[in-house]
Amino acid sequence: MEKTTSEKLKLGIFVIIGLLLFVLAVYLIGNRQNMFVKTFSISANFNNVNGLMQGNNVRYSGINVGTVKTISMVNDSTINVNMVIEEKMVKHIKKDAIATIGTDGLVGNMIVNIIPGKGDAAIISSGDIIKSYTKIGTSEMLNTLNVTNENAALLTAELLEITNSITKGKGTLGMLINDTITANNIKLAINNLKYASIEANKLVRDINSIVTDINIDESVAGVLLNDSIEAQKIKDIISNFDESSKDIKVVLTNLNETISNIKDGEGAFNYLTNDKEFVKNLEESIKNINEGTDKFKQNMEALKHNFLTRSYFRKLERQAKKNMRKEQKND
């Protein structure tokens, strides 16, 4: 059946609209995949891509700059993510940039974030492998939270046990809380410490006042520290004392030698002090002299009373009295 003109027009319009939608879809997909701009590729190695897929966005400082081209396993612990970046962004990305894997929002698609480096590294070039940083995954966070919860439960149980022990008065802390006598003793000790600190502060203030009142400039220490002339005099005195002590030492040494010579030598003193026979003879001689002196006095007294010599002694007495009177007159 031959189609009418209106039907042919509708078919043509439908085909044109379909072609336009197809071209628009191809453009949008191609634009998303950077098919119509110049690109270059860089890559980064991760230990875990956390569900990252080909075609996910790559952002640099929050701006979409490319997409994930390929994800390949390098070895059992390294995954290489190859990224297609718009060529116009080359001048902004440097070799010390760091790639991380994140999410677009709380439950969005996985993306690769490129964080700018902090140094003055060179501009990145096509084929470079930049550093990467793998964030902790959700499962690892849940495992960590699980361990934390278990530790919190154990800690709570131990705290409960400790609290019960304290409530029952067990341990030092329980005794301090429940024993009123110990609490009063501690309170008394604290009061004593407080009183001691007050007295100590008072003592320090008194000492400070005494030290402040001392005129250090007029004191001996101040003169020695500030007056160079007096300090030199003191220095000379000390030097003289030092010289005198040396001289005294020499004199004492000579005196010791002299005493040693007297004691150990063969001089008269040593003979007089150490010869017992000589001392004995000397004592006998002195004794004989004393006895001879007594006998001489007795003989002289006897001669005074003898008639032959009595006149002579009387004459001597008169002459002595005469001389005495003459001296008294002269005085």
The CA distance from 258 to 265, in Å, is 10
Give the model confidence (pLDDT) of 177-224 as tens digits.
Answer: 777 787 788 888 888 999 899 999 999 988 888 877 776 666 666 666
CB-based contact 98:132 (threshold 8 Å)? yes
Give the model confidence (pLDDT) of 9-36 as tens digits.
Answer: 888 888 888 888 888 887 777 666 666 6
pTM for this one? 0.39
Amino acid letter, 165: S
Question: Which stretch of DSSP H or E encloses residue 133?
Answer: strand 129-133
The CA distance from 159 to 165, in Å, is 10
Of 125, 123, 108, the residue nearest 43 (C-alpha): 125
Tens-binned pLDDT, residue by residue, of the chain (331 aa) = 566 788 888 888 888 888 888 888 877 776 666 666 778 889 999 988 888 888 888 999 888 888 899 999 999 889 999 999 888 888 888 888 899 988 877 667 889 999 888 777 888 888 889 988 877 666 777 888 889 999 999 999 989 988 888 777 777 777 777 777 877 888 888 889 998 999 999 999 888 888 777 766 666 666 666 777 877 888 888 888 888 888 888 888 888 888 777 767 666 666 666 677 877 888 888 888 888 888 888 888 887 777 777 788 888 888 888 888 888 887 7
Helix (H, G, I), strand (E, B) or coil at 98: strand
Going from the C-alpha of 82 to that of each of 79, 102, 121, 130, the distances in angstroms are: 10, 16, 21, 11
At 1 the pLDDT is 55
Kindly give the pairing relationship between strand 78-86 and strand 63-75: antiparallel
